[in-house]
């Protein structure tokens, strides 16, 4: 039976992860040492998602399939997939040209706007990138699981349109305090609806946007470094401490300096996991970053 394009895309993107780890962790540990079920890559299984691929050969079958499909039938779906191929392979001027053609032929599609925003940003054309990402948000506020507010914030920061970040903090200026356990920031950033995000929505945005961005942005990078540190603090505060440990490492690799606070928190992670190994808990604990029930996502 002929495989669908979607299946090929998923298979291709997963190859890199499967080479390093065989499966997604089914459980994690919260800061109380209790079992949690994040429903996403956790701990060591998260590591491959935080590395920019050097060799994209595993995407060649997908790219050949996409080209063949466009030649057979230049539908919107096939053309937008081809634009994704061009972006993944850093053929950015070609991607922009194709996407402009798609916008003229199939006007008003949010996928076109989103891909144009990404291509322009990777070309260093941040004003054009912001214009198209905002247009994509207008067309579909739920694109990329409602996380595009963070993409907008990153572009605004690049353009100097947000307050300068406090030393030691990311462009979001979240204050997690300086104790071994992070504290809940007094104010979280606004989401697509203009209202403060929840912890879950904040974690989802950092996870989705950063794993996408890291594909194109190798270490070191100041913006990515600061946001990885935010994500690490959120995981220690309200998610899986195994992921916090991996994310602190990634933040340092991307350029965060390991100061006294980070050192304290990494030791806190080590202490929590050590105690959990010595005294395993069967209790399912709280996890504000874990996937909520489907009814809560509506």
Residue 29 pairs in a beta bridge with 35
Q: Hey, what are 11's tokens?
A: 């298979």
- Three-state DSSP at 4 gives coil
Give me the pLDDT at residue 293, please: 53
Runs of H (alpha helix) within 186-259: 199-216, 222-238, 241-254
Domain assignments of the chain as residue spans, ordered by start: 5-117
Residue 72, number of CB atoms within 10 A of its CB: 9
Is the pTM value of this prediction over 0.85?
yes
Q: Hey, what are 20's tokens?
A: 């390093």
Q: Hey, what are 27's tokens?
A: 């459980």
Q: Hey, what are 12's tokens?
A: 């291709």
CB 51 within 8 A of CB 214: yes
Each residue's pLDDT expressed in tens, for the chain with a length of 298 residues: 334 444 443 434 433 333 333 345 569 999 999 999 998 999 999 999 999 999 999 999 999 999 999 999 999 999 999 999 999 999 999 999 999 999 999 999 999 999 999 999 999 999 999 999 999 999 999 999 999 999 999 999 999 999 988 998 999 999 999 999 999 999 999 999 999 999 999 999 999 999 999 999 999 999 999 999 999 999 999 999 999 999 999 999 999 999 999 999 999 999 999 999 999 988 899 999 998 754 444 3
Q: Hey, what are 21's tokens?
A: 């780890």
Measured CA to CA in angstroms, residue 14 lies from 45, 48, 81 at distances of: 12, 10, 17
Element (H or E) spanning 45, and its range? none
How many angstroms separate the CA atoms of 290 and 40, rounded?
Answer: 8
In order, the DSSP letters of 151-200 are HHHHHHHHTT-SPPPPTTS-TT-----SSSSPPPPS-PPB-TTSSBPPHH
Give the residue from 65, 89, 41 showing the smallest Cα distance to 291: 41
Residue 190 pairs in a beta bridge with 196
Q: Hey, what are 206's tokens?
A: 């950092």
How many angstroms separate the CA atoms of 151 and 172, rounded?
Answer: 12
């Amino acid at each position: 039976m002929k495989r669908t394009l979607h299946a090929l895309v998923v298979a291709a993107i997963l190859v890199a992860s499967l080479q390093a780890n065989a499966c997604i962790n089914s459980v994690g540990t919260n800061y109380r040492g209790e079992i949690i079920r994040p429903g996403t890559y956790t701990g060591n299984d998260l590591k491959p998602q935080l590395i920019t691929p050097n060799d994209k050969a595993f995407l060649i079958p997908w790219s050949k399939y996409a080209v063949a499909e466009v030649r057979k039938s230049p539908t919107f779906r096939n053309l937008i997939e081809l634009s994704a191929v061009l972006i993944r392979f850093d053929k950015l001027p070609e991607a922009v040209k194709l996407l402009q053609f798609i916008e003229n032929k199939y006007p008003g599609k949010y996928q076109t706007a989103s891909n144009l925003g990404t291509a322009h940003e990777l070309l260093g054309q941040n004003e054009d990138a912001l214009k198209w990402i905002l247009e994509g948000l207008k067309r579909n506020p739920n694109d990329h699981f409602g996380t595009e507010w963070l993409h907008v914030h990153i572009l605004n920061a690049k353009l100097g349109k947000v307050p300068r970040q406090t030393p030691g903090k990311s462009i979001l200026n979240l204050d997690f305090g300086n104790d071994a356990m992070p504290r809940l920031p007094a104010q979280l950033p606004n989401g697509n609806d203009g209202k403060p995000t929840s912890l879950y929505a904040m974690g989802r945005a950092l996870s989705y946007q950063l794993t996408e961005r890291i594909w194109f942005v190798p270490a070191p990078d100041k913006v990515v470094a600061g946001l990885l540190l935010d994500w690490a603090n959120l995981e220690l505060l309200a998610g899986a401490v195994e992921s916090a440990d991996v994310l602190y490492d990634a933040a340092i690799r991307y350029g965060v300096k390991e100061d006294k606070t980070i050192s304290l928190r990494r030791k806190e992670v080590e202490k929590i996991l050590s105690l959990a190994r010595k005294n395993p808990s069967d209790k399912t604990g709280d996890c504000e970053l874990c996937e909520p029930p489907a009814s809560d996502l509506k």
